[in-house]
Copies of this chain bind each other. A is one copy, B any other.
Amino acid sequence: MVPRVTLQTIADRVGVSRMTVSNAFSRPDQLSPELRQRILSAADDLGYVGPDPAARALARGRTGAVGVLLTDSLRDAFSDEVATTFLAAIADELEPSGLALTLLSSGRGDIVPARDVPMDGAFVYSCDTNSPGVEWLRRRKLPVVFVDHAPVDGAPSINIDDRSGARAAAEHIVQLGHRRVGILTACFNGPHGLVADPVSATGGHVATQRMLGWLDALEPVGIRPAVVQLPNGEEHFGFDGARSLLDGDERPTALLCCSDAIAAGAVRAADSLGLQVPGDVSIVGFDDSLLAVRIRPALTTVRQDVEAKGRIATSVLITQIENVRAGIVTTP
């Protein structure tokens, strides 16, 4: 094993100080072009690859990567169209800054990426409010931006008005004359299936807000919706949940779904039972993803601009990181 080539190796070879070699790579204006050339070509001869990123990260105090903390397993995030759209927007917006994006799973047991991965800041996207990952990010005092997450004290958070959106959707349903309404929502770790008290569900700020919004519209007119909680937002859960509601005695004439994916499952379920949408049953989604466009019959959905959320979150995070670097501490 040959000893590794470092700045010092090159410095010795060329006969200059290590600092000068460092400058040749990182601050070209600090030395004469000729010397820089000599250093660079010596480096090339020695097979030097450039300053070691890990060492540089320590010395500079920044790593060049930001994290994104996602719910549970990363797999879920990749199979969810809304999440991938969000991630794509982040990635795009991050690119010019040169920051890389590191995916952080919530972690289990001793594995806590949010604690152990070097990064300059992080997004928290639609996570369980009391996920240990969130806690660690806070403790590390990293700049954090919350998205689709319950606001946390001093940290910026990006949310749409989920509650109002949901209320508007439910009001619309009420105005159309529906009285028997079913609700399909996803909930990380609450009870699954038909539930009595819909607001008790734990985890999922967004789902909770949407639920509150629906109830805001339904309760005043005396509608008691049948609520089914699904383990997560995958389409097949939407299918199962919708079947269970549509197959019962008091079949709802409208289904409010907390995502388009769930709504898509519900449409399939209606179809499988020979029910017309929206003739026999109205189905309302949430997100306005591409999915909503693809589904036949076309879905009624609450529109939100996920791309914009990603872009905004990114610029906020970048600003935060720059402020920290400049010594402007926003959150004491």
Once the chains bind, are A116 and B53 in contact (CB under 8 Å)?
yes
* Cβ-defined contact, A95 with B79, below 8 A: no
Q: How far is the CA of A67 from the CA of B103 in the complex (A)?
A: 10
Which one of B1, B96, B117 contacts A65 once the chains associate, using CB atoms below 8 Å? B117
Interface residues of A in 213-242 (CB under 8 A from B): none
Contact B327 A65, beta carbon cutoff 8 Å: no
Q: How many residues of A contact B (CB 8 A)?
A: 50
Also in contact, A117 and B64, with CB within 8 A (given A84-B79, A91-B105): yes
> A195 in the interface, Cβ–Cβ < 8 Å?
no
* Contact (Cβ within 8 A) B100 A103: yes
CB distance from A83 to the nearest CB of B (A): 9
Asked if A54 and B100 sit within 8 Å, CB to CB, the answer is no
Judge if A140 is at the interface, Cβ distance under 8 Å: yes
A58 surroundings in chain B (CB, below 8 A): 52, 54-55, 57-58
Does A50 sit within 8 A of B, measured CB to CB?
Answer: yes
Q: A46 within 8 Å of B by Cβ?
A: no
Chain B contacts for A104, CB-based, 8 A: 100
Is A35 part of the binding interface, using a Cβ–Cβ cutoff of 8 Å?
no
How far, in angstroms, from A151 to B84 measured CA to CA in the complex?
Answer: 29
Q: Which of A64, A89, A118 is most buried by chain B, counting CB atoms within 10 A of its CB?
A: A118
Report B-chain residues with C-beta under 8 Å of the C-beta of A79.
Answer: 84-85, 88
Alpha-carbon distance A79/B290, docked complex (angstroms): 11
A154 within 8 A of B: no
Give chain A interface residues in 90-117, CB to chain B under 8 Å: 91-92, 95-96, 98, 100-105, 110-111, 113, 115-117
Beyond A65-B102, A100-B104, A140-B49, whether A92 also contacts B74 by CB under 8 A is yes
A85 engages B92 (CB within 8 Å): no
Is A27's beta carbon under 8 Å from chain B?
no
- Whose C-beta in chain B lies nearest to the C-beta of A88? B78
> In the assembled complex, which residues on chain B have CB atoms less than 8 Å from the CB atom of A75?
88-89, 91-92
Contacts of A118 in B (CB 8 A): 53-54, 57, 63-65, 118
Q: Is the CB of A100 within 8 A of B88?
A: no
Q: Which residues of B contact A64 (CB under 8 A)?
A: 113, 116-118
The CA-CA distance from A49 to B100 in the complex, in Å, is 23
Residues of B within 8 A of A85 (CB): 78-79
Residues of B within 8 A of A67 (CB): 100
Considering the complex, give the chain B residue whose CB is closest to the CB of A290: B79
Q: Please tell me if A30 contacts chain B, counting CB pairs below 8 Å.
A: no
A275 to B54, CA, bound (A): 58
A95→B88 contact, CB < 8 A: no
Q: Is A299 an interface residue (CB 8 A)?
A: no
Q: Give 7 closest A-B pairs by Cβ, nearest first.
A: A74-B91, A78-B88, A53-B118, A98-B111, A102-B102, A54-B118, A75-B88
